[in-house]
Structure 1
Amino acid sequence: MQDLEIYIRDLEAGTVSRWLESNVEQLQLDDSDVASVIKGTASFNNEHLNITLYPRAFGKRFTCLILEGGQLPWDSDLACARSAWKALETEIRCSPGAWKEGEPIADEKWWRLDSRGEQLVVWN
């Protein structure tokens, strides 16, 4: 199973489902209230996807979006973040590379995509 993980600043209700509708099939995601954890499903290339939104990740302003499945619409967190930035027009952050649970974080830099462009930054 593969996964993609991005962080969305100041997420507004309904925006993730509107964005994902054009990238996946059979979307089942009720993001009309983004104050608590939301779980949903979809498919991509006939493969099942799990979708989870975690509000208040890295402080109160970011929501973590995780997509998990055998095949995903994007080949990296950064590609997913770029698509989200174009659709949502709010700051998006993601890890600069592959990381697995339990591994130490080698570098504290993250990709930040916003009106200033794409930059590697320290999260704070």
Structure 2
Amino acid sequence: MQDLEIYIRDLKAGAVVRWLESHIKQLVLDDSDVASVAKGSAYFGEERLKITLYPQAFGKRFTSLIIEGEKLPWSSDLDCARSAWRAMETEVRCSPGEWQEGEAVENEKWWRLDVRGEQLVVWN
């Protein structure tokens, strides 16, 4: 199974559903309460996707979005982040590579997409 993970700053209710509806089908996700974990599903082609929103990731202002499946709508976290940025016009961040759960992230650079463009930055 593959996954995509991006971090969305100051996520607005309904924004993820509005964005994803044009990329996947049969989307079942309630993102009306952005303060609570939300789990859902959808299809990309014939492949079922698992979608999860985790609020307050990396502090109170970011929500983690994870999309898991055998076949995904984007080929990388950065491609997914670019699409989200265009749709939501709020800062979006993602890992630049193959970060693994449990690895230190203190000095790792992350892609930050916002009105200033795309930049590799230290998270804080």
Pairwise TM-score range, normalised by the shorter structure: over 0.9
- Percent identity between matched residues is 75
The one-letter amino acid of 2:54's match is: Y
Q: Normalized against structure 1, the TM-score is what?
A: 0.96
Aligned counterpart, 2:78:
78
Question: How many Å separate the matches in 2 of 1:12 and 1:104?
Answer: 29
The match for 2:29 is 29
Unpaired segments ≥5 residues, structure 2: none
Q: How many residue pairs get matched?
A: 124
CA RMSD of aligned residues (A): 1.3
The SS at the match of 2:30 is coil
Partner of 1:120: 120
Question: What TM-score do the two structures reach when normalised by structure 2?
Answer: 0.96
The aligned runs of 1:1-124 (5 Å cut-off) are: 1-105=1-105, 108-124=108-124
TM-aligned CA deviation for residue 98 of structure 1: 1.5
- Where 1:59 maps in the other structure, the secondary structure is coil
Q: State the alpha-carbon separation in 2 of the partners of residues 3 and 107 from structure 1.
A: 23
Counterpart CA distance in 2 for 1:36 and 1:107 is 29
- Whichever residue aligns with residue 19 of structure 1, its letter is W
For 1:115 and 1:24, the matched residues in 2 are separated by: 26
Gap regions ≥5 residues in structure 1: none
The 1:57–1:106 alpha-carbon spacing in structure 2 relative to 1, beyond 3 Å, is closer
Instruction: State the alpha-carbon separation in 1 of the partners of residues 70 and 100 from structure 2.
Output: 17
